Structure 1
Amino acid sequence: MQIFEKTIVVSKDDLDQLNHVNNVRYVQWVQDIAEAHWLQNATNSILDNVFWVLVNHQIDYKSQAVLGDQLLVKTYVTRSEGITSERIVEFINKTTDKLIVKSITKWCLLSTKTKRPKRITPEIAKLFD
């Protein structure tokens, strides 16, 4: 299982009225890191033929992040079969090493030509091994 990581520093724009990271921001970050991981691994040929859409999203908020916190964001694919893939995204406070948010998302692979579901090929599944 290949783990893709990046660090986010919480900015003022990420905060809600309670001065912690807005829940909607986590959803955006989940999508952003999934896309970054995909774009890092997929060839131009693959990118020309298929794309992913989010079909299900579960997110567990375990703690909060505030202005200036450094968050280690880790993502990995746990399953790819048929037309769907399951991805985990974890947000870890780098100072405390504490898991603050965990997301499980289900993605469906679509053809760029037909916009219809397409089976995940072994070539695509191997991108995340």
Structure 2
Amino acid sequence: MQTFEKTITVTKTDLDQLNHVNNVRYVQWVQDIAESHWLKNVTKDILDNFFWVLLSHHIEYKNQAVLGDVLQLKTYVSKSEGITSTRYVEITNKNTGKIIVVSETKWCFMNATTKRPTRITPEVSTLFD
């Protein structure tokens, strides 16, 4: 299983009125790292012919993050079968090692021409092995 990681630093625009990272920002980061991982691995041909839509999103908030915290985002695809794929994302405080957020999302593979769900091709499923 291939993991993809990136590091971000919490900025003022990430904060809510309590000066903690806004919950909506975590959801955005989960989507952003999934997209970055997809774009890093995908070929132009696949990108032109397929896309993903989100079916479900489960997120658990374990600890808070505040201005200046350095966060490590890590993601991997835990399962792909039929027309769906399950992706796991973990966000940790890089300095303390504390888990901030864990997320599991389920995505549906779509045909760009028909705009309908389609079986995940072997070529796509091997992108994340």
Where on the TM-score scale, by shorter chain, does this alignment land: which range? over 0.9
Name the counterpart of 1:33: 33
Please report the TM-score for the alignment, with normalisation by the length of structure 1: 0.99
Extract unaligned runs of 5+ from structure 2.
none
Name the counterpart of 1:17: 17
Name the counterpart of 2:97: 97
Amino acid at match of 1:13: T
Q: Give the root-mean-square deviation of aligned CA atoms.
A: 0.4
Residues 57-96 of structure 1 mapped to structure 2, 5 A cutoff: 57-96=57-96
Name the counterpart of 2:3: 3
Extract unaligned runs of 5+ from structure 1.
none
- The whole-number CA distance in structure 2 between the counterparts of 1:48 and 1:33 is 20
Q: After superposition, what is the alpha-carbon deviation per residue over 1:65-99, rounded to whole angstroms, capped at 9, x for unaligned? A: 00000000000000000000000000010010111
Aligned residues: 129
Tell me the SS of whatever aligns to 2:32: helix
Amino acid at match of 2:25: R
- The whole-number CA distance in structure 2 between the counterparts of 1:115 and 1:12 is 38
Give 1:118 shift: 0.7
Identity %: 71
Please report the TM-score for the alignment, with normalisation by the length of structure 2: 0.99
Q: Which 4+ residue blocks in structure 1 deviate beyond 3 angstroms?
A: none
